[in-house]
Amino acid sequence: MNRLKNNLVVVALCLLCLIVMAVFYISGGFLGKSRSEETDNNDHLIMVGISQLGSESVWRTANTESVQQALSKENGYFPIFNNARQNQENQIKAIRGYISQKVDYIVFAPVTETGWDTVLMEAKNAGIPVILMDRTVDVEDDSLYVTRVGSDMHEEGKKAGMWLEEELRDKGRFDEDINIVILTGNKGSSAEIGRTGGFAEIKNKHKNWHVLEEVDADFTTSKGKEEMRRLLAKYSDIDVVVSQNDDMTFGALEAIRDAGKTTGDGGDIVIISFDSCKEALELVRDGIINVDIECNPLQGQYISDVIKALERGEEIRKEYIVDENVFTKSNVEGYINDRTY
């Protein structure tokens, strides 16, 4: 009799355990959601494969953070991210991976302009819209991407040239021979092509502007320093450095300081930089960098807006250009505090 009673207690306990486990499972355990509910939730998210070209600069880090913040789960996205480390092959591999995962959209910052026709055709054939972030591509058929969110880098290059014209006029050096060196970002990228071309457009109007050398310093501080050190050893009379991003400028400034030369207003060498990250704006304020041509990396919200518009079936433009400024000592002060990158 006692044994029967014990057995009944054991069976009752087991049943109780099963009931508790079932309730726990249905209610989603500690997370408060059941597994089927979780899958359903993810099903509603827009799956986006993001192919970022690298992490070479402060600008790039800000660009990555901006797109990751905007395309978050809380905002209705399921993002998958890949950093290509400035290598086109890595980007092609990442895009092919996104195609086989059947993502809803591909967001892609191309390291160079050419060489994308085949992989973008594969995305198009798979019915996946491609949104270009930051830089552009040079493809035969522009239906291979739906839109681009980025900057007008040719215009940025022109702004640099126009600032130099004004500066030389102000300083009474308009007709003097001016020796210029250019530190470019990686050759064949939109940022390099645009800024080099835009600056050349203005430079070509001035027979007295001489470009001594134009050299690829990869958009990095270490390369910027190395190349600037070499240029200073080779040319004793550099008047202007055009450095196509702030990171290379930081390196160039170190090399110039090491060579015992000064920069900025009244210094030996005029420094023209691009991007306008906080640290560079502080150097503009302190009179070390003469001018910084802004390039806005905060493109995430624009990209999200474009995707949401496409989801609603709305027409979108082929290009969205972000707003940008030119900073000198005279206007920079009010912008430094709010700069997040």
Q: Which of 51, 107, 111, 134 is in the footprint of ligand GYE by CB under 6 A?
A: 134
In whole angstroms, how close is the CB of 219 to ligand GYE at the nearest point? Answer: 4
In whole angstroms, how close is the CB of 87 to ligand GYE at the nearest point? Answer: 14
64 binds ligand GYE (CB under 6 A): no
136 binds ligand GYE (CB under 6 A): no
302 binds ligand GYE (CB under 6 A): no
d(CA 47, CA 154): 33
225 binds ligand GYE (CB under 6 A): no
Q: Please identify, among the stretches 53-61, 138-146, 172-180, 321-329, the one whose residues bind ligand GYE according to the rule CB under 6 A.
A: 53-61
How many CB atoms sit inside 10 A of residue 293's CB? 27
CA dihedral 340, 249, 270, 178 (to 10 degrees): -140
Q: Please identify, among the stretches 52-60, 171-179, 256-264, 314-322, the one whose residues bind ligand GYE according to the rule CB under 6 A.
A: 52-60
The smaller minimum CB distance to ligand GYE, of residues 192 and 239, is found at 192
The smaller minimum CB distance to ligand GYE, of residues 203 and 223, is found at 223
User: What are the residues binding ligand GYE (CB under 6 A)?
Assistant: 56-57, 59-60, 134-135, 151, 185, 191, 219, 245, 274-275, 295
